[in-house]
Structure formats: C-alpha cells, structure tokens
C-alpha cells in the first residue's frame, strides 16, 4: 500500500482529535516559516538567547544550505500529506523588531485524503465502512520500523524561486546532509519545532503552520518521539550543516488514545463520564507554553498571567519556556515575572495545538484586536485534547459516590457538611442570546456533549413534528444543523417565540449540568447528591426535576428528553392558543419614552413596594374585562416584581404609574418635606410573548397535561433523589402526588415568589446553571442574598472573572483556597454582649466599640454645643466618645487652648477627636495641619472628623497619609447622598491602613448634613460599605429613645 495512505497510529489524544477536526483546514495553504539571526554571538541553545539579545533558532548561516534543508524538510511534509509536489519558495525580511530572514515554503495544492476518509463540513470523518481503529492505527503496522524514516524519492519536483529542484538534486543533497540509505529522518521533536519555525504573524499563517505541524505528525508511529544526540556540527568552511536525528521508541505499540468516543461520539449511552474505557493508567498531559518576551508591556503580561490562571485552576501542569528579546526581559523571566508574552505557542504532550497570536487579528492600522475569547479558546483546546478540564478518577472499590470529589474542593467540603450547596435553574427573560450560549458550550465542550446534543436535537425535531399535527407549528428545530453550520441560524425573532425558547433554554441548562459532571469524571446522581436541593425560576423547575431524578448518564439523557418534551408542549400550546384567542389586539399608541424594550406580555417593575404595585394594578383592573386584566405574577426581590397581562393593559399600567408619580413629585417640589418625594419606579418589558404565572393561562393547563401523557413526558415525585422546591411557596415537591401537573400549573397559572423559593437554611453556596451567565438568575439571587453568607457560583460560565465573581472554574478547583464564603452581616457586624475582664460589667461589642474602646453611642461635633472644653471633658470622663467642634475656634491659639484644657481634665488613655468644617477652606487649611503638628508635639489627638463635604480621593489620601505619619488613629466623613457615600468607600479602599468612620445622618436632623431620605441611600450602598473592612458605619439624627434606637443597633431596621 502507498505509505502516504497509511494513517499513523497515535498515542496522544490530540492526534485523534486532529484526525477528526483537521478536515476543515486540510485544504488551506500550508506554510512553514524559518527565521535566522544574521548577527553572530554566543547563544544559549536551550533558551534561544544570544549575547546580542536576538532570538536564535539554529546555527545556519549559509543561504544555499538553509534553502536546501528547508526544501528537504518540505519534501518530507509534502510527501507525508500526499500533497502536490510543486512548492513555491518565498523570502521575507525584517520580521518583527529582530534582524532576521524568513523562508516561507508554500505548497500550491493540498493532497487527496486517504480512501477510507470522507470530507465533510466540520472535519474529516470516517466513512461508514471504516471504524476508528482503521483511522487511528496503521493498517500494516508490521511494515513500520521502530525508527520512522521517510523516503523522498516519490516527490517529483519542488519549485524554488526561479529554478526547479528535482529528485536528482535531492539525491545530491542527501549525502551532504548526512542522510543514509536514500532516506531522510524527520525532524519532528518538540524542541526542533520551536527552534526551526518562526511564529506566524497573523491568523491565516497560524492555521497554516498549525496544519503543517499536525499533518507532518501524521507520519510518526506509535510511541513517543524523542531526540537522539544531534550530529556534531560541521565547520562553516566545510559548508555542511548538522541535522538532528529522531528515534521513535515503541513503548506501547498497541495502545491508542484514551478516549475514542470523544472523536466519533456514539448515541446516548450510560456511563460515569462518557469517556472510553482504557486499561492503561491515565497520565495527564502537560502543557508547555513557548514565547518571545520583551519588557515593558503590561497588557500582554496581564493576558499571559490570565492564561496561566486558567491552567492552574483546571489543575493542568504546564511549563513556561521563554525566549527573551532583551536582557531586562530575560531577568524578568528569571524572577518569574512573566513580562510581555508576545507570541506564545501552546504544546500539549509535545503536540503543537495553537498559537497565542491565533486569537488576534490585525486591523488596517496594524493594531491587534480580540478575535476570540482567550479563555474560551484555550479551554476548547484542552477539552479537545481529552483533558475534559480535569483528570479521570478511577476508584479501586468501584464506589461511584467518590467519583469527582477529589477534583473539586467545594464538593469535598459539601460531602463533609462544611458547605451547603443549592442549585438554581433560570427561566425566561434573563437573556435573548440563549442560543449563543448553547453554541459556545457546544464549540467548547463538543467531545463531552455531542452525543447528548445529537439525540436531543433529533428528539425535539420529532416531537415538534408530532405536535404539529395537533396545533400547527411553523418551523422545525434543526439544532444540530445550526450548531454544525450546515444550515443558517434563524434570526432573533424566531428565538423569541416561547415555542422555541422554552425547550432551548431547557437544553442549555441540561448541557450546563452535563459539562459539570463530565468535567469531574463523575455521574449525574453522584454530583446532585452533594446538593441540598434544586429550585427553578419558572420553566427552570422542569430542568431541576430532570437533574434531581437522574442517577447515571443513561437515566440523565432519558429524563432530559422528557423535560424537553414537556417544555416543547408547554411553549407550543401557549403560543398557538394565545394566537387563536387574539390575546393581543388593538393596543393603544403610547409615548415610548415611558418604557424600555419592545412591548410584551410581561413587565418588570423595580424600586416599588408590593403594596404600591398592588394598588396600581387593582385600580386599573376595575375598568378592564377579565381577559384584559393585569396580574402581579412574580416577586423577584423586595422591590422587584413582574406584572403579566395583555400588551395594551401593561402599557396602560405604565401610563398610569408614570402620571401618578410625576404628579406627586410636582406637588412636593417646593414642600419642606421633599425628603418624602417618590422616585418613579423603573420598568422594562421582558422578551416573553406570553403572560406566564397568571390566570390568563390557567385554561390551557389541562390540554398540556394531556399532551404529556400522550407523548410519555411525565415525571413522578417518587423519582426525585433530592428535593426540588416549589417556586410558588417554597415547599418540597417530593410529597407532590401529581408532579407533572403541579409543574405546569406553577409555570402557567401560579404566582412565583423567588424570595420564598430560595429561603433555605444551612446554605453557603448557590450554583446557577443558567441561562444568562453572570447576568442570569444567579445575579438576582446574589442581590437577594447579600449579607446572608451565601456565595453564588455561575456554573454556566467557564471564565475567570475578577472582583470575586465565582464561575465553573471555581467549582472545578481542588485548591483549598479556591473555596470562599460570602459575608454574613449578622455574624460579622451584629452586636455581641461581652464582659469586661476587670470590672465584670457587660457591654455591647461592635466595630465601633472595638475601634474607640468606648460604648456604641457617641456625641457628634456641633457648633456651638461641643466647642467648649468643659462639656467635651465631661462626656469623655463619662466614658463616651465625643468630637470637639472646630467651628468655634478661628485661631491657632484658641484651638490649642481648648485641647490643652481637655487634656488636663481627662484621664490617661483618653483621646480627643476634633471636628473640622471642610467647607470653610480658610478654617480647614488652618486646623488640619495644626492638628498634625499638635499630635507630633504630644497632644492626645486620636481622630479627625471631616464634615460639610467629602474631599476628593487625592485630597483625602494626602490628608490620611499625613495623619498616619503623625499617629492619628481614625478619620470620619459625613457624606450627604449615595454618591458621596461611594466616595468615602473609594477613599477607604485606597487607604486600607486608616480606620474610617462613615457617619450617616440623612435629612432627619433638619437637613443640616443632607436633604436625602435616611434609609434609601444607605440601603443602596450598604453592601459596598460592608465590603470595606476598615469602614465603621455610624448612624445619627432623629434618635430620641431606646425604642427608636434599638432596631438600628440590632439590624432589624
């Protein structure tokens, strides 16, 4: 048989992946680039850095010999790929900032595929008569020696510049290159690949170089390729060049890659992880990242560190090999400060898988823009290389309950009871791009989810055809064809139909959970066993029941198809019946300034109380027919609701609400009680074309239940392995006798109370399975759970996100430090009763008492009340904190005199705090420097209060740095609104060494410090305040006794 048609047997999983997906790049122009540094100098061949600071990749200095070697290597590549034997040689100079020349060798045509292959969209697939063993293994392995050698005699000619190099010319060159027995030994080591190939500049060259590397590797036989000692270099005068030989050791001649199923997925089958079985011990691949480095570019340094964080998060071992372009950058590498990774090349187990530069495109100005998401692209490479984001765990006892735990620290802690896990599944309205999320999942995790997606696509297509006979559906779902780009994806209007969005959002959630358990090499039932329960927001309850009912993969796929069937029935029936009933006809034209979004059947209303909203809807409904009424259908948060109804009725509600609040505010505009001015609620139409969770859909429930029985899509409460909770009242559905009817009824006709549904004890982490990523139901849940100690993890997002947002990366991490907990305000900031060690007296312990060493009640500075030394001294001697008002002291002598009097009247250890009016620039410029000097002189000044304005960040930082040097312990600010509160928080974050007291009074004290409502600004910013450990929150104004004060101390307010 023609050696060119013998597919090589491969031991690494990446190679099998290449056989499958390589077809889409097999017809592209192959390019091999080789660079040479012209200036000479001693070079470290390992690092590739010479004394001149230039990148070195070889010792070739003779253009003719260089061309001969390149031609010879290309001849091997052309033969190995069964390409046409005409090759163009091109030259390019001045690549990058380094002085070097490049040889670009470009075959003019690609070769035909072996007879056992078929060219298909998306890759090279085996023909029906060819199994994977035939593709991945040699058909006549006996004829392949342990040392792989390739003949070049079959290559007819190579065009180089203006002359043709035929076989006779090659024969003459072979002897000068040390080639024996009419054969050439392929130079295919990892080291030589990086040494002998200049990194391509652009995306096109990246794919070409990638293709060349992969297809050249097709000729290697089983085993690992290792370099033998290179032949000694000949002197330049002899005009002979060294050529490294490769030996191929057949360590395991019969083994193939670990997982054939990831390459040619079978139908839906059971199993722990969906991988193929192998008797060999799994050795995790190791990633090696190559790149050239120059100093001084923070952007690239940050991006490279981000890539490495991904590798570490998924426990992927990696090496970093850097070729430094200057001495400063070289020193960075030595100190492990990565510097600027300009063109890193990624290798997995010695196999080249891609260039960093492949993720960028240069625009017309030469500026590189992002083409793909970096993290997504690298994770995709890892998954396709059979990483599946973690290593396979083989339990010797066969106990499936232990699968995957050791690869997730969070699950391990959940199994020990330290962590309480709870899963949530979102519903409609959180995103309009749910199909893009499905596509991203599919493209990234294709080897893991392809069998399921294929079966789900077929099932949905069939059930849509069956339903079509009953209620007439316009278009079938060709999900797999859209994902494989065999058919154009429909427009956004198509995906906005509830008949489409219902099953596809369910599919997205089920894929998300599948990626989790397969990434941990576990089973659906094993992973769900670590959760205390699941709940779905609206249609998400269907996916939650499917997950909670599954044990192994076979049952998971079966239950998933049932869930998709219910969702298809529900969406199609609702859409068809509402259209038949002419539910939305004749809606009035209203000024579009009063609403956001396209009018639909569900309206989101925020910043309004439930009492106000109920009054508005009830008032409007009095004049409407039953079929035109609005219903408060969903309670998402304390002041966040959804109203369902016909479009025209919702538009009337918006008009009424806008007119009412505008009129109220106009009447109160000049009133002294303007603090009570109402804010117009914010509103937005959700892209949901049906009034779910309302009485409008109750009449369709029976028809939907009948369809589920006809198509065998029913769930039973006896199948639930873990609790699933009702989105209506939060009760467990385990005791629900008619589970399918209950689920449909709750989605269509019952109100949804998300606060009740998620009120569970002993929960520390909530996992959101989509849709919507970090903007989905998990975000809403996180807002509701602020300060309760519950951390939300967005499992449908696999990116590393800053600012503490947790994703799938954190869920899969086994680093103990990767598990974090959200703040519990009650535990961290709630008052505690403590006993004085020496006196035995009881007192409250708060952040304020710990900072000041005094009780939790203070006397604020006020002119003229606290300008005198006698009053201030009396309060301090009573054991309370007080501020000396600086507003009554206009000279240095006056302030010094009062501070000295106080010092003489108080006991040792007591400190003095001075209130400075920042608005009075003259007084502030006198007193602030004076207080620092007095502190240095020995005056017991412990704190300063800045009132009447919050200085800028720069000014505040300058003041604080001066106070810290003088020994002042704390500084207070008195913001007047939410914006200035955030300014104080910003100052605190930038000055973590200083204790900052945030004194909030609002307008209850007569508007002296603010004209705002007392509660609203602090509620709006409370979470931001509590995230700063150096901020102590103090409230004032309007308190006159124990009854009105106690709720603000306990937190009950």
Reply yes or no: is the peptide bond before residue 864 cis, omega within 30 of 0. Answer: yes
Report whether pLDDT(405) > 90: no
Greatest extent of the chain over all pairs of C-alpha atoms, in Å: 111
Report whether pLDDT(261) > 60: no
Please give the average per-residue pLDDT across 82-103, as a whole number: 29
Report whether pLDDT(147) > 50: no
Q: At 544, is the pLDDT very low, low, confident or very high (cuts 50, 70, 90)?
A: very high
275 located within any domain: no
Burial zone of 101 (CB within 10 Å; 0-12 exposed, 13-18 middle, 19+ buried): middle
Other Cβ atoms less than 10 A from the Cβ of 923: the count is: 18
Closest CA to 947 of 905, 984, 911, 918: 918
Give 817-867 pLDDT, tens digit per residue. Answer: 888 888 888 888 888 888 888 888 888 888 898 898 888 888 888 888 888
Q: At 530, is the pLDDT very low, low, confident or very high (cuts 50, 70, 90)?
A: very high
Angle at 879 between CA 876 and CA 881, to 5 degrees: 60
Of 56 and 588, the one with more pLDDT:
588
Q: At 116, is the pLDDT very low, low, confident or very high (cuts 50, 70, 90)?
A: very low
Give how far Cα 419 sits from Cα of 12, 762, 779, 824, Å.
Answer: 38, 8, 20, 14
Please give the average per-residue pLDDT across 254-281, as a whole number: 35
Please give the average per-residue pLDDT across 770-784, as a whole number: 90
Give residue 796's pLDDT.
87
Give 891-934 pLDDT, tens digit per residue. Answer: 888 889 888 899 988 888 889 999 988 888 888 888 889 999 99
769 located within any domain: yes
- Which residues touch 474 (CB under 8 Å, ≥6 apart)? none
Give how far Cα 113 sits from Cα of 116, 217, 548, Å.
Answer: 8, 15, 47
Please give the average per-residue pLDDT across 327-338, as a whole number: 45
d(CA 213, CA 38): 26
Give the CATH number of the domain where residue 955 resides: 3.20.20.70
Give residue 288's pLDDT.
52
Burial zone of 987 (CB within 10 Å; 0-12 exposed, 13-18 middle, 19+ buried): buried
517 in the same domain as 659: no
618 in the same domain as 547: no
Split into its structural domains, the chain has a count of 5
- Answer positive or negative: Cα dihedral of 1027, 1032, 1037, 1043: positive
Give residue 803's pLDDT.
67
665 with 602: CB under 8 angstroms?
no
Give 466-515 pLDDT, tens digit per residue. Answer: 887 665 556 678 899 999 988 899 988 889 899 999 999 999 999 999 99
Give residue 667's pLDDT.
57
450 located within any domain: yes
Give residue 318's pLDDT.
58
Closest CA to 72 of 146, 148, 178: 178
Report whether pLDDT(559) > 80: yes
Q: At 870, is the pLDDT very low, low, confident or very high (cuts 50, 70, 90)?
A: confident
Please give the average per-residue pLDDT across 322-343, as a whole number: 43
Please give the average per-residue pLDDT across 300-320, as a whole number: 59
393 located within any domain: no
499 with 415: CB under 8 angstroms?
no
Give residue 324's pLDDT.
42
Token pair for residue 46? 């390992």
The residue out of 354, 384, 414 marking a domain boundary is 384
691 located within any domain: no
What residues are paired with 102 via a beta bridge?
35, 92
Give residue 562's pLDDT.
96
Report whether pLDDT(753) > 70: yes
Give residue 286's pLDDT.
54
Other Cβ atoms less than 10 A from the Cβ of 1052: the count is: 7
338 in the same domain as 215: no
865 in the same domain as 807: no
891 in the same domain as 869: yes
d(CA 55, CA 291): 11
Report whether pLDDT(229) > 60: no
262 located within any domain: no
279 located within any domain: no
SS3 1021: helix
858-859 and 881-885: which strand pairing?
A: parallel
SS3 229: coil
Q: At 656, is the pLDDT very low, low, confident or very high (cuts 50, 70, 90)?
A: confident
Out of 45-49, 165-169, 217-221, 590-594, the most confident range is 590-594
854 in the same domain as 944: yes
Query: Model-level pTM?
Result: 0.64
Give the CATH number of the domain where residue 650 resides: 3.30.70.3320
71 with 158: CB under 8 angstroms?
yes
599 in the same domain as 577: no
CA 416 and chain centroid, separation: 27
220 in the same domain as 329: no
Other Cβ atoms less than 10 A from the Cβ of 811: the count is: 23
Please give the average per-residue pLDDT across 324-350, as a whole number: 44
Give the CATH number of the domain where residue 321 resides: 3.40.30
8 in the same domain as 110: yes
Out of 49-53, 340-344, 662-666, 696-700, the most confident range is 696-700
91 in the same domain as 60: yes
The residue out of 384, 416, 445 marking a domain boundary is 384
The shares of helix, strand and coil residues in the chain, as percent rounded to the nearest 5, are 40, 15, 40
847 located within any domain: yes
Report whether pLDDT(354) > 50: no
Q: At 379, is the pLDDT very low, low, confident or very high (cuts 50, 70, 90)?
A: low
Q: At 6, is the pLDDT very low, low, confident or very high (cuts 50, 70, 90)?
A: very low
Out of 139-153, 638-652, 1037-1051, the most confident range is 638-652
123-126 and 117-120: which strand pairing?
A: antiparallel
Give residue 587's pLDDT.
54
Give 429-470 pLDDT, tens digit per residue. Answer: 888 889 999 999 998 888 889 999 999 999 999 998 888 766
Q: Report the chain's mean pLDDT, rounded to a whole number.
A: 68
Count of positions (residues) in the chain: 1053
d(CA 283, CA 296): 38
988 in the same domain as 906: yes
What residues are paired with 33 via a beta bridge?
104
Give residue 301's pLDDT.
54
Give residue 673's pLDDT.
42
Give 583-637 pLDDT, tens digit per residue. Answer: 877 655 555 556 667 889 999 999 888 999 999 999 999 989 999 999 999 999 9
Give residue 377's pLDDT.
58
Q: At 358, is the pLDDT very low, low, confident or very high (cuts 50, 70, 90)?
A: very low
Domain that holds residue 63: 3-227
781 in the same domain as 651: no
Closest CA to 828 of 1022, 1046, 1037, 1036: 1022
């Amino acid at each position: 048989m023609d050696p060119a048609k013998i597919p090589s047997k491969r031991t690494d999983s990446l190679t099998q992946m290449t056989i499958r997906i390589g077809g889409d790049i097999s017809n592209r122009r192959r390019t091999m680039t080789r660079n040479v540094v012209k200036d000479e100098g001693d070079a470290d061949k390992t690092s590739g850095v010479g004394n001149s600071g230039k990148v070195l990749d070889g010792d070739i200095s003779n253009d003719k010999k260089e061309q001969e070697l390149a031609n010879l290597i290309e001849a091997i590549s052309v033969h190995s790929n069964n390409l046409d034997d005409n090759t163009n040689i091109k030259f390019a100079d001045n690549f990058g900032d380094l002085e070097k020349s490049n040889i670009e060798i470009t075959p003019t045509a690609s070769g035909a595929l072996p007879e056992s292959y078929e060219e298909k969209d998306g890759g090279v697939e085996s023909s029906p008569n060819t199994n994977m063993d035939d593709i991945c293994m040699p058909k006549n392995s006996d004829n392949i020696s342990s040392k792989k050698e390739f003949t070049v005699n079959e290559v007819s000619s190579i065009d180089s510049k203006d002359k043709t190099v035929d076989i006779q010319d090659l024969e003459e060159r072979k002897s000068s290159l040390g080639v024996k027995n009419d054969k050439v030994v392929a130079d295919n080591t990892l080291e030589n690949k990086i040494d002998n190939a200049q990194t391509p500049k652009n995306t096109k060259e990246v794919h070409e170089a990638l293709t060349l590397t992969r297809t050249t590797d097709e000729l290697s036989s089983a085993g690992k390729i290792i370099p033998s000692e290179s032949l000694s270099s000949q002197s330049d005068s002899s005009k002979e060049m060294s050529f490294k030989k490769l030996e191929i050791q057949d360590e395991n001649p019969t083994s193939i890659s670990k997982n054939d199923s990831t390459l040619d997925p079978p139908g839906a089958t059971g199993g722990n992880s969906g991988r193929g079985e192998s008797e060999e011990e799994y050795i995790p691949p190791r990633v090696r990242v190559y790149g050239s480095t120059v100093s001084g570019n923070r952007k690239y340094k940050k991006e490279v560190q981000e890539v490495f964080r991904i590798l570490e998060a998924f426990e992927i071992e990696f090496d970093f090999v850097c070729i430094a372009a200057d001495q400063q950058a070289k020193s960075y590498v030595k100190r492990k400060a990565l510097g600027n990774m300009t063109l890193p090349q990624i290798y997995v187990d010695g196999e080249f898988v891609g260039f960093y530069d492949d993720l960028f495109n240069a625009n017309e100005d030469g500026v590189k823009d992002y083409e793909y998401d970096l993290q997504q692209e690298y994770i995709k490479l890892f998954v396709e290389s059979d990483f599946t984001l973690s290593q396979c765990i083989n339990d010797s006892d066969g106990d499936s309950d232990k699968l995957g735990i050791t690869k997730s620290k969070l699950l391990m802690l959940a199994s020990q009871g330290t962590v309480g896990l709870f899963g949530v599944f979102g519903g409609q309205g959180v995103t309009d791009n749910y199909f893009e999320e499905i596509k991203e999942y599919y493209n990234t995790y294709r080897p893991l989810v392809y069998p399921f997606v294929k079966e789900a696509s077929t099932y949905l297509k069939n059930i849509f055809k069956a339903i079509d006979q009953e209620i007439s559906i316009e278009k079938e779902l060709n999900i797999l064809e859209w994902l494989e780009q065999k058919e154009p994806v429909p427009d956004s209007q198509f995906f906005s139909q509830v008949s489409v969005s219902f099953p596809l959002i369910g599919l997205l959630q089920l894929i998300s959970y599948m990626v989790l358990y397969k990434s941990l090499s576990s089973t659906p039932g094993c992973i769900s066993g670590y959760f205390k329960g699941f709940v779905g927001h609206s249609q998400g309850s269907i996916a939650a029941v499917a997950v909670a009912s599954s044990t192994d993969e076979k049952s998971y796929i079966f239950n998933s198809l049932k869930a998709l069937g219910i969702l298809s029935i529900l969406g199609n029936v609702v859409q068809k019946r509402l259209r038949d009933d002419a539910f939305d006809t004749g809606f009035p034209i209203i000024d579009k300034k009063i609403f956001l979004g396209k009018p639909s059947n569900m309206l989101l209303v925020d910043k309004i109380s439930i009492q106000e909203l109920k009054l508005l809807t009830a008032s409007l409904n009095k004049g409407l027919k039953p079929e035109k009424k609005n219903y408060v259908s969903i309670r998402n948060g304390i002041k966040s609701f959804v109203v369902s109804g016909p479009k025209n009725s919702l538009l009337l509600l918006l008009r009424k609400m806008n007119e009412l609040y505008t009129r109220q505010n106009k009447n109160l505009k000049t009133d002294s009680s303007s603090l009570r001015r109402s804010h117009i609620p914010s509103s937005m139409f959700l892209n949901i074309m049906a009034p779910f969770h309302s009485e409008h859909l109750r009449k369709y429930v029976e028809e939907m239940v009948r369809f589920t029985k006809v198509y065998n899509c029913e769930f039973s409460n006896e199948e639930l392995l873990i609790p699933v909770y009702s989105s209506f009242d939060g009760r467990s559905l385990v005791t629900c006798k008619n589970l399918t009817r209950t689920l449909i009824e709750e989605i269509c006709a019952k109100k949804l109370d998300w606060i009740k549904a998620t009120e569970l004890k002993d929960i520390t982490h909530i996992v959101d399975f989509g849709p919507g990523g970090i903007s989905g139901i998990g975000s809403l849940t996180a807002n509701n759970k602020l300060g309760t100690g519950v951390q939300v993890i967005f499992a449908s997002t696999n990116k590393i996100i800053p600012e503490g947002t947790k994703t799938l990366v954190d869920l899969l991490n086994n680093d103990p430090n990767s598990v974090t907990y959200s703040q519990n305000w009650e535990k961290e900031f709630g008052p505690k009763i403590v006993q004085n060690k020496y006196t035995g007296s009881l007192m409250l312990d708060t952040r304020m008492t710990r900072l000041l060493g005094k009780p939790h009640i203070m006397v604020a500075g006020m002119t003229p009340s606290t300008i005198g030394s006698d009053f201030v001294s009396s309060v301090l001697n009573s054991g309370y904190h007080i501020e000396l008002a600086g507003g009554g002291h206009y000279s240095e002598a006056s302030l010094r005199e009062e501070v000295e009097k106080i010092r003489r009247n108080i006991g040792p250890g007591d400190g003095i705090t001075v209130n400075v009016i920042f608005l009075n620039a003259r007084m502030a410029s006198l007193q602030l420097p004076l207080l620092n000097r007095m502190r240095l002189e020995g005056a017991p000044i412990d704190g300063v209060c800045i009132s009447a304005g919050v200085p800028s960040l720069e000014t505040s930082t300058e003041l604080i740095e001066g106070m810290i040097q003088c020994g002042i312990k704390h500084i207070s600010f008195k913001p007047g609104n939410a914006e200035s509160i955030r300014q104080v928080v910003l100052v605190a974050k930038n000055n973590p060494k200083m204790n900052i007291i945030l004194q909030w009074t609002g307008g209850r004290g007569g508007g002296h410090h603010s004209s705002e409502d007392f509660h609203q600004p602090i509620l709006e910013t409370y979470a931001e305040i509590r995230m700063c450990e150096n901020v102590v929150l103090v409230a004032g104004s309007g308190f006159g006794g124990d009854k009105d004060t106690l709720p603000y101390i306990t937190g009950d307010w």
